């Protein structure tokens, strides 16, 4: 899948040639270093040269300066003084690919893709990226394979009935495939609840999960374009063994990867978000209204970038009172998961802001769709006095008690500290 690198390079070249230098993207970006000039950013974005990882730069969580500089890109690139590579590299390291810079661009450009191109050239890559993404995908050394085996054994007890699906070799043909990938290890218990709901609906399905069947989108978002391509090719082969009509996933970034696989590999399946699947079947549950007011947090890759934000809202309107907080734009932060722990204090502040928005909107509950959003926001929920739960949690609670498996305790990790591995797989 060198096509991923080629496609991104072409998109970046087109974007740079159309950029009018207005700086709106940097103003909307929650992590842009103050003082970073668009001319310098564009100058460094053009090209293939490695980008040295930055020296520490204090980056307070504050909007970039308000001054607007409109410059022709060509002029900016030519007149740029010695480029402040450290600031550009810092943006590349801390960018979590939320896409908040995209809807504000008057030229319709994708600054997130341009920064991803910079990420792909960071040399060396931030150690936090590789610590978070280790052991994922099919390309494993012998030592990594041993590590994956040990990891899977350690989590077998916690996963219960889900554990039989972890990295299993034999896959049976089925019209419906639930794809959990790495999220099968999620501490939310979402996978087990999804299968309980599927059993209630008398759905016949196959399940694909485990580190070796990672969708690769997190690697893509870290700038490991070639590694991501290998993972997507591998996953496409695994999906082909099931030959499903639809592949349902609770991961926002998994949905993005599946959409790409379905398009590029031309495998005849339809990627489906868990929200769409639940909404389609909602009439089959004993419906009731949940007390209190709920708001919905959009996941970056399914809602913000792929426009799948209405299905979850249709469910919430049927199950209770929905109030909206800020959805898109420069003050609707994402969960920040894909910063991979590079600047935990910065990300924790953004998460606290988002939870405060939910509370200020009058919501007692902030509902999320993506399993990673739930893991990211739940640790701060108590302090913010806002309950964080998923659409799956809500629908699972509709099941008659006899159809619900014994609930397992859910463990949310405390906020990530600098140097910690992201606790996504509970490793
Ligand atoms: S994707 Fe988000 S973090 Fe990255 S440059 Fe755009 S606004 Fe900033
Ligand atoms: S908002 Fe768009 S046009 Fe303006 S500087 Fe950013 S990418 Fe260029």
CA of 62 relative to ligand 1 center, distance in Å? 14
Whether 37 is in the pocket of ligand 2, judged by its Cβ within 6 Å, is no
Query: What angle (nearest 5°) sits at the alpha carbon of residue 262, between those of residues 265 and 241?
Result: 75
Of the candidates 14, 147, 35, 48, the one whose C-alpha atom is nearest the C-alpha of residue 91 is 35
Instruction: Determine the straight-line distance between the first and last CA of the chain, rounded to whole angstroms.
Output: 29
CA-based torsion, 13, 19, 21, 23: positive or negative: negative
Q: What is the reported pLDDT for 73?
A: 37
Q: What is the reported pLDDT for 86?
A: 87
The helix or strand, by DSSP H or E, that contains position 196, with its residue range, turns out to be helix 190-200
Q: For a ligand 2 pocket test, name from 12, 19, 42, 45 the mutation site with the most ligand atoms within 8 angstroms of its C-beta.
A: 19
Residue nearest to atom 4 of ligand 2 (CA): 22
Query: Between β-strands 51-52 and 270-273, what pairing exists: parallel, antiparallel or unpaired?
Result: unpaired
Residue nearest to atom 2 of ligand 1 (CA): 98
CA distance 219 to 42: 24
CATH level 3 topology of 286-425: Rossmann fold (3.40.50)
Contact 231, 214 (CB under 8 A): yes
Residue nearest to atom 8 of ligand 1 (CA): 29
Question: The pTM is what?
Answer: 0.86
Query: pLDDT higher for 146 or 188?
Result: 188
CATH 3.40.50 for the 130-279 domain, yes or no: yes
CA of 29 relative to ligand 2 center, distance in Å? 12
User: Residue 8 pLDDT more than 60?
Assistant: yes
User: Residue 179 pLDDT more than 80?
Assistant: yes
Using the atom order of ligand 1, give the atom closest to the CA of residue 99: 1
Which residue shows structure tokens 């009731």? 288
Region 25-34: what's the mean pLDDT?
Answer: 92
CA-based torsion, 11, 12, 17, 20: positive or negative: positive
**Per residue in 330-357, pLDDT tens?**
467 789 999 999 999 999 999 999 999 9
Query: pLDDT higher for 139 or 316?
Result: 316
Q: What is the reported pLDDT for 81?
A: 43
Q: For 84-165, where are the alpha helices, taking DSSP H only?
A: 85-94, 111-119, 127-133, 142-159
Query: Between β-strands 205-209 and 270-273, what pairing exists: parallel, antiparallel or unpaired?
Result: unpaired
* Tokens describing residue 149: 């085996």
How much is the CA Rg of the chain, to the nearest whole Å? 21
Q: Where are the beta strands (DSSP E) in 191-326?
A: 205-209, 246-249, 270-273, 293-297, 321-322
Using the atom order of ligand 2, give the atom closest to the CA of residue 114: 7
Least confident residue range of 23-27, 238-242, 301-305, 422-426:
422-426
Q: What is the reported pLDDT for 229?
A: 93
- Concatenated DSSP letters for 330-355? TT-----GGGTTSSHHHHHHHHHHHH
CA of 289 relative to ligand 1 center, distance in Å? 37
**Per residue in 286-308, pLDDT tens?**
988 998 899 999 988 887 788 88
For residue 342, the ligand closest to its alpha carbon is 1
CA-based torsion, 398, 327, 324, 385: positive or negative: positive
CA of 118 relative to ligand 2 center, distance in Å? 16
Strand partners, 145: none
Which residue shows structure tokens 């699972």? 396
Residue nearest to atom 7 of ligand 1 (CA): 29
CA of 221 relative to ligand 2 center, distance in Å? 20
Contact 69, 34 (CB under 8 A): no
The number of beta carbons lying within 10 Å of the beta carbon of residue 69 is 13
How large a percentage of the chain has pLDDT more than 70? Answer: 85
Whether 111 is in the pocket of ligand 2, judged by its Cβ within 6 Å, is yes
Q: What is residue 120's three-state secondary structure?
A: coil
pLDDT band at 84 (very low <50, low <70, confident <90, very high): low
Region 316-334: what's the mean pLDDT?
Answer: 82
At a CB cut-off of 8 Å and minimum separation 6, what does 268 contact?
245
For residue 42, the ligand closest to its alpha carbon is 2
Whether 43 is in the pocket of ligand 2, judged by its Cβ within 6 Å, is no
Q: What is residue 409's three-state secondary structure?
A: coil
Query: What angle (nearest 5°) sits at the alpha carbon of residue 94, between those of residues 382 and 25?
Result: 100
Whether 38 is in the pocket of ligand 2, judged by its Cβ within 6 Å, is yes
Whether 105 is in the pocket of ligand 2, judged by its Cβ within 6 Å, is yes
CA distance 394 to 391: 5
Q: Mean pLDDT over all residues of the chain? A: 85
* Tokens describing residue 63: 């909007």
Q: For a ligand 1 pocket test, name from 111, 118, 338 the mutation site with the most ligand atoms within 8 angstroms of its C-beta.
A: 111
Residue nearest to atom 3 of ligand 1 (CA): 95
Using the atom order of ligand 1, give the atom closest to the CA of residue 334: 2
pLDDT band at 62 (very low <50, low <70, confident <90, very high): very low
CA of 420 relative to ligand 1 center, distance in Å? 23
Q: What is the reported pLDDT for 66?
A: 35
Residues carrying CATH 3.40.50, the chain:
130-279, 286-425
The number of beta carbons lying within 10 Å of the beta carbon of residue 348 is 18
Using the atom order of ligand 1, give the atom closest to the CA of residue 28: 7
Using the atom order of ligand 1, give the atom closest to the CA of residue 32: 8
Whether 23 is in the pocket of ligand 2, judged by its Cβ within 6 Å, is yes
Long-range contacts, stretch 281-287, CB < 8 angstroms, 24+ apart: 281/201, 282/315, 282/318, 282/395, 284/201, 285/200, 285/395, 285/398, 285/399, 286/398, 286/400, 287/318, 287/319, 287/398
Whole-Å CA distances, 157 to 150, 183, 185, 196: 13, 16, 11, 18
Of the candidates 268, 276, 267, the one whose C-alpha atom is nearest the C-alpha of residue 248 is 276
């Amino acid at each position: 899948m060198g096509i991923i690198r080629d496609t991104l390079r072409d998109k970046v070249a087109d974007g740079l040639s159309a950029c009018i230098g207005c700086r709106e993207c940097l103003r909307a970006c929650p992590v842009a270093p103050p003082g970073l000039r668009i001319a310098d950013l564009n100058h460094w974005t053009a090209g293939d040269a490695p980008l040295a990882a930055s020296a520490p730069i204090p980056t307070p969580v504050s909007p970039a300066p308000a001054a607007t500089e409109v410059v022709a890109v060509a002029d900016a690139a030519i007149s740029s003084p010695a480029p402040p590579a450290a600031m550009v590299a810092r943006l590349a390291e801390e960018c979590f690919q939320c896409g908040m810079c995209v809807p504000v661009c008057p030229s319709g450009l994708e600054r997130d893709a341009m920064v991803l191109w910079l990420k792909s050239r960071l040399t060396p890559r931030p150690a936090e990226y590789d610590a978070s993404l280790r052991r994922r995908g099919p390309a494993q050394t012998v030592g990594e394979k041993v590590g994956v085996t040990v990891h899977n054994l350690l989590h077998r007890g916690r996963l219960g009935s889900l554990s039989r699906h972890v990295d299993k070799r034999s896959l049976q043909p089925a019209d419906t495939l639930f794809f959990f990938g790495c999220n099968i290890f999620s501490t939310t218990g979402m996978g087990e609840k999804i299968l309980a709901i599927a059993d209630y609906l008398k759905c016949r399905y196959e399940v694909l999960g485990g580190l070796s069947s990672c969708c690769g989108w997190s690697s893509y978002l870290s700038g490991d374009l070639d590694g991501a391509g290998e993972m997507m090719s591998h996953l496409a082969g695994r999906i082909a063994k099931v030959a499903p009509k639809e592949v349902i996933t609770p991961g926002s970034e998994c949905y993005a990867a599946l959409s790409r696989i379905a398009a590029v590999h031309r495998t005849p399946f339809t990627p489906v978000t868990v929200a769409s699947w639940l909404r389609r079947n909602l009439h089959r549950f004993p419906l009731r209204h949940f007390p209190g007011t709920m708001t919905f947090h959009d996941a970056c890759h399914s809602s913000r970038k792929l426009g799948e934000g209405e299905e979850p809202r249709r469910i919430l309107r049927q199950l209770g009172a929905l109030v909206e907080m800020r959805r898109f734009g420069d003050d609707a932060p994402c969960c920040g998961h894909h910063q991979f722990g590079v600047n935990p204090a910065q990300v924790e502040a953004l998460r606290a802001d988002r939870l405060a928005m939910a509370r200020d909107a009058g919501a007692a509950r902030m509902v999320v769709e993506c399993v990673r959003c739930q893991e990211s926001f739940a640790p701060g929920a108590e302090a913010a006095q806002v309950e964080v739960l998923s659409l799956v949690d809500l629908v699972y609670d509709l099941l008659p008690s006899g159809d619900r498996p014994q609930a397992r305790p859910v463990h949310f990790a405390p906020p990530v500290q600098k140097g910690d591995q992201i606790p996504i797989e509970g490793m």
